[in-house]
Amino acid sequence: MTEFRVGRGHDGPARIGEYIMGTEVFETPLLTGHSISNEKMLQYGTLGRDPSNSRPTIAALPFSMKFEDIDKAGLGDFDSVLLPSLISFSSLDDQTSVLTLRHQLDAVDEIKETVDPSRLIVRIPENIDIDDFKSYIDDFHSKGIRAAAFMFDGYLGSTDLDSIILRSNLPASWLALALGKIDPSTVPLLYYTGFDVIDTGYAYETAATGVRLWRNDSEHIETGKQQRICSCVHCESIAGAKHSDLIDILQNHNLDVYVSILSESVYAMKSGRLRWLVESMTHVSPNQASIQRQVDKQIYSFIEEFTPTTGADNVPLIGPESYNSPAVKRYRDLLEARYTPPEGKQIVLLLPCSAKKPYSDSKSHRRFLESIEGALGSASGRVAQVILTSPLGIVPRELERIFPAANYDIPVTGDWDAEETSLGAEALITYLNKLDPSCTVVAHVSGGYLGIVKAAESRVSQSIIYTTPEASATSWESRQALQETLVDLKRVLQLKDTPPRQLEEIVRATADFQFGTGAGNILVPKNAKLGGKPYRQIVCRIDKEQICSFIADTGLLSLTLGGAKLIAPLNRYWVRLDAPFVKGGSIFAVGIKEADLSIRPGDEVIVLNNQDEVIAVGRSEMSGREMCELKRGRAVSVRHKVEV
């Protein structure tokens, strides 16, 4: 039996795992190539044509090979087998692609006695229609196949994009291989989009033509010409090497480039910075940038589905490629769909973002808060504070500690481009439309932030007062102007004092954001008692029973069993087991009967038993789809459970 086991951890569809071939265990992501020099690489070759090896390899079956000859051709007991296809045949039309799959399906039946289906790898043809693809993958799945190879021609055009899009429709339990011409600079993107095995053939191809690859470009080595400095061991003897030696040197060097960029990608995945690495690679070439944009546009939901709810402490968002990164777009989408502003607000104060996060910790925001307090005193609670920023759009003060609002890092010049301005304006319009039209909007912003407000102005019903359109919002004069405006408004609007409700507002907003509209009112009803500090922990109790607590570090709520029972009727973020009780501290995918498909890695989830009773709460380790599709792996880390 050959088996692919998905391990723990995600950043986008990228994952780690193990490809088990007999007694050999290869850790994925994994590089594959002709070379056997590198222990950690999986070798491939063509059955009957390339020398066989004692270690397990990937063996390609030639189209012309008779199935009865497979055994004598020297197939190793644990070799995986690439099913046969005619090269280029599927490029003719979508029908020939279907035939390419059908032929492989026939082949499975022919050889399943000799080669266990778990060792087979389907070759995914070009041009295949998504629905045909899915239905054939189902057929292969039911025959026990769990691996698919996709072709890359290296142009980063439609062929490569199609392969990535098709891969996004593969069941989570399948191993995905990327074969063909793959430049090192594409490795992070392929890993990010869920490829587990990546071909290094291009390392040899370039070496054969005298090309030395680098992380994000390449260099032609010519004798007598000045070369770049490489400190790797292989390149020590490059000066004056003769042609055949040069090829060897370049092969080894080039392979190392793949090894190093893949390891960089894995490390980035583990620290929640893979998206950032992928974004940074878009500057390698225009093609690289455009395929990345297409990926974001066309398979956003796939990427988002595997993007954890929380991430790195510091999330750099640098260029336009960040505007629709999953963490960012998901924040905007959830805010629009789930967030309800607190009640009793008469003034909406629009503020610029600060470089330091959360905003309240910055010098500028501490001063804004002083100005509000100074002008309104005990009526300060009548003000809804909203921070304008890019590319998140807006951040209500209550949510400033949530991911990624508390973690993103942008070049804060305040010069937004047209897309950023429009993202900001849309978010602001949606927000203001949720508020009473009689509220007064105070725009304490200038420059690009002002542009956002102006772009929104004609589409909102509230009237807007500009405090400081000409000068920086943080200057002493501007803050004076803000304070005067608020003093005037207090008088004009006859603002009444109100007890501070900051804790309720934070917990309610977070609950809605995290569990969906309505959760806030359920978890923090009128009679709830809250205690603690917004910058540390807030505990919410009803009738002395602890319901949930807000953890400032993550900006998220942890539920108690009591809290979970309260929101279980919302029918969200549930995981249903086959068992009556939870045993141990983890729930594994194998024990899960069903799960809410909107669960993302890192979400707070409610565990139900086969009677639909709440039996535990915990943190998800994978997405809802994986909980349903995978047969192994830790799905939930349990925090509280019903003791038996």
Q: What is the rounded CA–CA span in Å between residue 259 and residue 37?
A: 12
Give the nearest distance from C-beta 247 to Zn ion in angstroms.
14
Q: Does 454 bind another protein (CB under 8 A)?
A: no
Q: What is the rounded CA–CA span in Å between residue 260 and residue 603?
A: 32
Q: Which does 491 bind (CB under 5 to 8 A by kind): Zn ion, another protein, none?
A: none
Q: Which is nearer to Zn ion, 230 or 369 (CB)?
A: 230
Residue 387 CA, chain-centre distance (Å), reads 25
Q: 394, 427 in Cβ contact below 8 A?
A: yes
Give the nearest distance from C-beta 257 to Zn ion in angstroms.
8
Give the nearest distance from C-beta 260 to Zn ion in angstroms.
11
Binders of another protein among residues 21 to 60 (CB under 8 A) are: 34, 44-46, 49-50, 58, 60
Give the nearest distance from C-beta 64 to another protein in angstroms.
6
Q: Which is nearer to another protein, 160 or 400 (CB)?
A: 160
Q: Which does 181 bind (CB under 5 to 8 A by kind): Zn ion, another protein, none?
A: another protein
Q: Quick one: tokens of 100?
A: 């390419």
> Which of 89, 214, 581, 588 contacts another protein by CB under 8 A?
89
Q: Which does 49 bind (CB under 5 to 8 A by kind): another protein, Zn ion, none?
A: another protein
Q: 395, 389 in Cβ contact below 8 A?
A: yes
- Select from 7-15, 202-210, 284-292, 324-332 the region that touches another protein (CB under 8 A): 202-210
- The CA angle 610-612-614, to the nearest 5 degrees, is 110
Give the nearest distance from C-beta 138 to another protein in angstroms.
18
Q: Quick one: tokens of 2?
A: 């050959």
Give the nearest distance from C-beta 262 to another protein in angstroms.
18
> Which of 37, 95, 438, 475 contacts another protein by CB under 8 A?
95
- Closest by alpha carbon to 554, among 625, 506, 626, 615? 506
Q: Does 438 bind another protein (CB under 8 A)?
A: no
Q: What is the rounded CA–CA span in Å between residue 85 and residue 82?
A: 9
Residue type, 603: D
Q: Quick one: tokens of 542?
A: 């009803």
Q: Quick one: tokens of 16?
A: 């780690």
Q: Which is nearer to Zn ion, 66 or 243 (CB)?
A: 243
> Which of 18, 153, 313, 336 contacts another protein by CB under 8 A?
153
SS3 string, 416-480, reads CCHHHHHHHHHHHHHHHHCCCCCCEEEECCCHHHHHHHHHHHCCCCCEEEECCCCCCCCCHHHHH
> Which of 25, 232, 337, 579 contacts Zn ion by CB under 5 A?
232
Whether the ω angle into residue 13 lies within 30 degrees of 0, i.e. cis, is no
Binders of Zn ion among residues 211 to 230 (CB under 5 A) are: 230
Give me the residue label for tokens 């490795």.
Answer: 187
Q: How many residues does the chain have?
A: 644
Q: Which is nearer to Zn ion, 241 or 412 (CB)?
A: 241
Cα–Cα distances in angstroms (integers) from residue 368 to residues 98, 166, 536, 628, in the given order: 63, 50, 21, 48
Binders of Zn ion among residues 328 to 367 (CB under 5 A) are: none
Q: Quick one: tokens of 89?
A: 């045949």
Count the site residues for Zn ion by CB under 5 A.
Answer: 4
Q: Which does 114 bind (CB under 5 to 8 A by kind): another protein, Zn ion, none?
A: none
Give the nearest distance from C-beta 98 to another protein in angstroms.
9
Q: 245, 237 in Cβ contact below 8 A?
A: yes
Q: Does 152 bind another protein (CB under 8 A)?
A: yes
Q: 341, 431 in Cβ contact below 8 A?
A: yes
Q: Which is nearer to another protein, 111 or 614 (CB)?
A: 111
- Mode of pairing for the β-strands spanning 634-641 and 614-620: antiparallel
- Select from 206-214, 341-349, 388-396, 550-558 the region that touches another protein (CB under 8 A): 206-214
Q: Using CB atoms within 10 A of its CB, is residue 38 exposed (0-12), middle (13-18) or buried (19+)? A: middle
Q: Does 130 bind another protein (CB under 8 A)?
A: no
Q: What is the rounded CA–CA span in Å between residue 508 and residue 436?
A: 19
Q: In what order do the strands lie in the sheet with 2-6?
A: 2-6, 17-21, 24-28
- Select from 207-215, 430-438, 458-466, 549-557 the region that touches another protein (CB under 8 A): 207-215
Binders of another protein among residues 58 to 77 (CB under 8 A) are: 58, 60, 62-64
Binders of Zn ion among residues 235 to 294 (CB under 5 A) are: 235, 253
Task: Write out the residues near another protein by the rule CB under 8 A.
Answer: 34, 44-46, 49-50, 58, 60, 62-64, 82, 85-89, 91-93, 95-96, 99, 102-103, 106, 123, 151-153, 179-181, 199, 201, 204-205, 207-210, 243, 247
**Which residues of the shown chain bind Zn ion in the complex (CB under 5 A)?**
230, 232, 235, 253
